[in-house]
Structure 1
Amino acid sequence: MTDRGAHNPDRELDEALAALHLEARMSDRPLTDAREKLMREAAAEGPPASKSPFRRRGLVVGVAAAAAAAIVGGVVVIGGGGGAPAQPVAQPTTSQQPTKRDVSLLSASQVLNDAADKITAKDPELKPGQYRYIEVKGSYLRGFQTGTPQEVVSAPTGYTYLADITYQTWIPRDVTQEWLEKRVPGDAKLIGSSTPASEVPAYQPMDTDMGERRGACGDFFPKAKPKKVCGDETDMGQPAFYENLPRDPDQLLAWLEDYTSQRGSTPGTMFHFGIQFLDSGIMPADLRGDLLRAMAKIDGVKVVEEATTPDGRKGLALGLDGDQERRDLIVDPDKGEVIGERTVAKAQADYPWIEAGTVTGSVSVTTRVADAIGVVPAG
């Protein structure tokens, strides 16, 4: 998932920005102010915040993926302890491999514009009693760290797991009514530590990475501050946010630049938030193509490689490099679908025990129509 952006300019308040509360996630104030507020409210109900300002890893309809890191007294906790590492996923046989594209011949602008041209999806028409079902399958950073990479006297120590979590959300036809969200933890894989792996605690999911929550307008954490407001046009987790956005690539690009102005309006920030919006699960179908065309105009985006999402779909990864990580959007160029996102560590990663090139987060999103709340529709 992950600034989501991609993409984050302090990126990067992780998955948790959306989950914790709107102000911390969307505030116009500098990220340092947002972080201080998150720390003061760390005890409030809701996921802890990540140290990376863009990272959201698992945002779904303002329901945000659970927090990546909580910083208290110089100790950074990213998720829970440790447990059985994830079992390796069986790789397809050679006969199952899709035809390889020569990505060196493709430009990001070409791929994004072609994908926009091929979009045929329509917004679901919900009948009375039906729900929009959004499923996010993702892998998120969880672990523990003391110190910071910037410290000179004391080098940081800790460990990091990549934990699988599935978020299932049911949104009613009348969005002011009760929503349901379920979080289902899966396997976890140790991707690095400052000590031998045998000394790393077994992984244990956080409370915010599991369980069932209900709330009108998706207010799953009612004790979070500020209070979630139904129909808030500044809350990217609510349909109202998207209603008045321009339906023109150039105007959208200008809006995106203005929207990220407090974070420098850098290409990485803009690319990050574009991915966040596309992966929200509630962006209207008529806006997706224009946003893809707007993102095609962002400097520095390149076609990286063929990639597979957590739910097994295959597409092309289009990435934008930052100092600490590369943020990728994954599209199916044949169907014009945005099928996922991921982040890949660079040499100056947040956590020095994570090797460059390691996938540090990935997300895939699917939406369907459910006939009743809590019922998973057939795929």
Structure 2
Amino acid sequence: MTDPIDELLAGLRTDVPEMSEEAFDAGRTRLATHIDAPVPVVATEPYISVTPLRKKRLLRSLPRRLVASAAAAVALAAAVPVVQAARTDGAAPVATAAAQLNAAADRINPVDEPIRPGQFRYTITHRWALGEVMQEYERGNCQLPPGKGGPVVRLDDDDAKLRPCKKLPGGDLRLLQETTTEHWVPADLTQNCLWRNTTTGRYRWLVGDDERGRAVGFPMPRRESSEYAPPGCTDGARWLSGRLSPAFVAALPRDPRQLHDLLRRENLMTLPHPDKAFLDNVDLALDSGFASADLRAALYRALALMPGLRITEQFANLDGKKGTAFGLSRDGIRTDLIIDPATGQFIGMREITETDSSGLPRGSVVNYSSVANPVVVDRVRATH
């Protein structure tokens, strides 16, 4: 029978003479030395540490030629640098959140696309948000629990009391529904803007399904659209309005510290979570379609001054766009703003559950939006 070791080594050099006893003993000694030597371990945070395997005593049973080949392999490996795999789970970022935000601000194209009289800047925000939550209770001559939407029914007889409504199997029903928000902002801001809000009718169940929803009268999303044209684009003068005007956005300071302090003062009234409101307001300005290149850079630098902001994911994906997620956690919900670090483009935001609560498992995306950069169009309602 052919020795398998001979087959394995058949492709090696054949011009080497048969190994002598002295060469064999020397090779075995070198191999044992390398095996017994301690393996250095680098345990810095951004990398995966390596623990050496326990030594096994195999030398006595190995053929001479295999020992010689192993000794050569050890010598070759010693000459090759070891490359450790960087962690890709986002837990150990390459740079701090502040450093990456400032770098993204540096990469923003400082010149916005020019716009001529009669043209419009068009922006669209695509959003999936948590829709109406409905608790499944029986309907009829019973009293719903407080806060569940049921009116208090009073009978003529004061002594008569309604029995509590029984909770049906299955618990809460929750779904995400899709909406779009479109802005057309004219070059001449004395003209009217146009804002269009659309519920597309598309939805995704987080808890429940169509059959259960119809059985309890769940309000299934349907397509609806509305348009609003504020005269002179003047509507929306404060953060709390949820809608900002071009003039309001244009007047914001470009100094990062001043902008940070302004946002901080505005959010003091949103206690107990002004930091969450801070992120929401930065998102509101960035996806308004009104923020010029210099203001977008200032917003990134102001955000970099926020204590507690961290990189939650290096390669977040929204609608096929990838960027770095900068997030903050409050009350079991993490809010992320996502920015392409290579171009400085604002991609969107998302909210993710960090605990198992309200019938939703940890890690559920309960709200996200993706934003397209403004494009210049020739007429209102045009999209390209």
Per-residue deviation, 1:197: 6.5
Q: Report whether the alignment pairs 1:326 with 2:340.
A: no
The amino acid of 1:275's aligned partner reads D
Q: Is the 8 A contact 1:188 1:203 kept in 2?
A: no
Indicate the SS of the match to 2:172: strand
Partner of 1:309: 318
Partner of 1:364: 370
Higher strand share: 1
Q: CA deviation at 1:213?
A: 1.4
Residue 241 (1) aligns with residue 255 (2) = no
In structure 1, stretches of 5+ residues that fail to align are: 1-98, 220-228
Q: Does 1:354 align with 2:343?
A: no
Q: Deviations over 1:79-122 (max 9, x none)?
A: xxxxxxxxxxxxxxxxxxxx995631332112111101111153
Amino acid at match of 1:162: L
State percent identity of aligned pairs.
29
3-state DSSP of counterpart to 1:289: helix
Q: Which amino acid aligns with 1:331?
A: I
Residue 290 of structure 2 corresponds to residue 274 of structure 1:
no
Q: Are residues 1:200 and 2:201 paired?
A: no
Q: Which runs of 5+ in 2 are unaligned?
A: 1-85, 136-145, 149-163
Could you tell me the TM-score, scaled by structure 2's length?
Answer: 0.60
Q: Secondary structure at the match of 1:143?
A: coil
Amino acid at match of 2:290: I
1:298 aligned counterpart, secondary structure: coil
TM-score w.r.t. the length of structure 1 is: 0.61
State the match for 2:82 in structure 1: none
Count how many residue pairs are aligned between Structure 1 and Structure 2. Answer: 260
Alignment of 1:1-379 (within 5 A): 103=90, 104=92, 105-146=94-135, 158-182=172-196, 183=198, 185=200, 187-193=202-208, 198-201=211-214, 204-205=220-221, 210-217=224-231, 230=235, 232=237, 236-264=243-271, 266-305=274-313, 306-310=315-319, 312-347=320-355, 349=357, 352-366=358-372, 367-377=374-384
Report the CA distance between 1:168 and its aligned residue.
Answer: 2.5
CA spacing shift, 1:178–1:260, aligned 2, 3 Å: same
Partner of 1:3: none
Query: 1:171-194: CA deviations, max 9, x gaps?
Result: 22233433333425152110124x
What's the secondary structure of 2:133's corresponding residue? strand
User: Which amino acid in 2 is paired with 1:314?
Assistant: K
2-structure distance, mates of 1:217, 1:356: 45
AA in 2 matched with 1:188? Y
Letter in 2 for 1:137: H
Separation (CA, whole Å) in 1 of partners of 2:253 and 2:118: 31
Is the CA contact 2:125–2:287 (under 8 Å) kept in the aligned structure 1? no
Q: Distance in 1 between matches of 2:180 and 2:224?
A: 9
Q: Which residue of 2 aligns with 1:61?
A: none
Are the aligned partners of 1:177 and 1:216 in contact in 2 as well (CA < 8 Å)?
A: no
* C-alpha contact 1:233 1:240 (8 A) present in aligned 2: no
1: CA distance between counterparts of 2:278 and 2:301?
13
Q: Residue 103 of structure 2: SS of its match in structure 1?
A: helix
Instruction: Tell me how large the CA RMSD over aligned residues is.
Output: 3.0
Which structure exhibits the higher relative contact order, with contacts defined as CA atoms closer than 8 Å and separated by 6 or more residues?
1
Q: 1:41: which partner in 2?
A: none
Helix, strand or coil at the partner of 1:188: strand
SS at match of 1:144: coil
